[in-house]
Amino acid sequence: MKIRPSELGAHLLVALLWVLHWLPLPLLAALGSGLGRLLYVLVRGRRHVVLTNLALCFPAWEEARRRQVARDHFACLGRSLLERGLLWWAPRERLERIITASGESRLRALVDAGTPVIMLVPHFVALDAAGTRTALGFDVVSIYARQRNAVIDRWLRHGRSRFGDQLLQPRHESIRSTIKAMRAGRPFFYLPDMDHGRKESVFVPFFGVPAATITGLPRVAKMARAVVVPVSVRMLAGGRGYQVAFGEPWRDFPSDDIEADVRRQNEAIEAMVAEMPEQYYWVHRRFKTRPEGEPPVY
């Protein structure tokens, strides 16, 4: 079968990641950080997005601090790219050593009790490490957006389903199938913190900036009678691995005020970001959709 140039490049990238995954993690982390810092210089468009997001969310910071956080962010992005090979091919024993978890017993207790669970997982650069760690102990349901490149799509699917019996739901599927899976004992690995446009969104503050935020978390929690468990993942410095934290289940959620519920979601994410601002996914144009009458920010 003829391979298009884009597919050839993807095959070469996958081959490179496979070779690199054999390296010790500190060395792999150093290579990834170097790659990311190079991308900071070369990828001007995304650098602009990151600096704009940081300026909007942290206006009190000095410019020098924002640029340093942006450089550190790209270093983390470079690591997340090269270390992805670990998630795709490293054996379970190695992954259990490098991806540690706290609070996992909270999630286990809820699942064992038959309680539907939504895992609130914000977009941190080490997001897939959180997914792998969860898959080592639980069969979950998650929403999967098909990738344009067939090679990358195949390996992403492989990485997210190689342990246990993971259910990847296409984005266009009805939410009812996800709720059915939750009621059958699968926690829902949910990422509700990107700009998906005006549809099914409300404008609530994110670091004080009006952000189009989907209302899926309170709506699904209400439909499934589910408990929300916030989950964060930290990429540790020096190639020491990853730390996944399963938080305390939320009480009194959802309420009768969907806008207040979405604001609570954003406030929870803000608290996570404040602990490791360089690791949030700032390359996303989080404020692309603006309230009526407001000019674009990018």
Using alpha carbons only, how large is the chain's radius of gyration in Å?
19
Is residue 296, in this structure, part of any structural domain at all? no
38, 77 contact by CB (below 8 A): no
pLDDT for the residue numbered 52: 98
Please give the Cα distance from 76 to 87 (Å, whole number): 16
Q: What single DSSP character describes residue 190?
A: E
Tell me the average pLDDT across 276-290: 98
Tell me the average pLDDT across 98-116: 97
Is residue 125, in this structure, part of any structural domain at all? yes
pLDDT at 248 over 80: yes
- Where in the sequence is the domain holding 122, given as residue range(s)? 5-279
Q: Which two tokens stand for residue 19?
A: 């070779």
Tokens 């795709």 sit at which residue? 88
Q: pLDDT for 141-194, tens place per residue?
A: 999 888 889 999 999 999 999 999 999 998 777 789 999 999 999 999 999 999
Is residue 131, in this structure, part of any structural domain at all? yes
pLDDT for the residue numbered 4: 54
Is residue 292, in this structure, part of any structural domain at all? no
Is residue 286, in this structure, part of any structural domain at all? no
Please give the Cα distance from 167 to 134 (Å, whole number): 13
Per the structure, the count of domains in the chain is 1
Q: Which residues are within 8 A (CB) of 256 and not within 5 positions of it... i.e. 6 or more apart?
A: none
CA–CA distance from 35 to each of 18, 135, 180 (Å)?
Answer: 17, 28, 42
Is residue 259, in this structure, part of any structural domain at all? yes
Is residue 287, in this structure, part of any structural domain at all? no
* Residue 240, domain CATH: 3.40.1130
pLDDT for the residue numbered 167: 96
Closest to 83 (Cα-Cα) out of 123, 24, 124: 24
| Confidence (pTM) | 0.94
Is residue 85, in this structure, part of any structural domain at all? yes
Closest to 296 (Cα-Cα) out of 282, 285, 281: 285
Please give the Cα distance from 58 to 246 (Å, whole number): 27
pLDDT at 121 over 90: yes
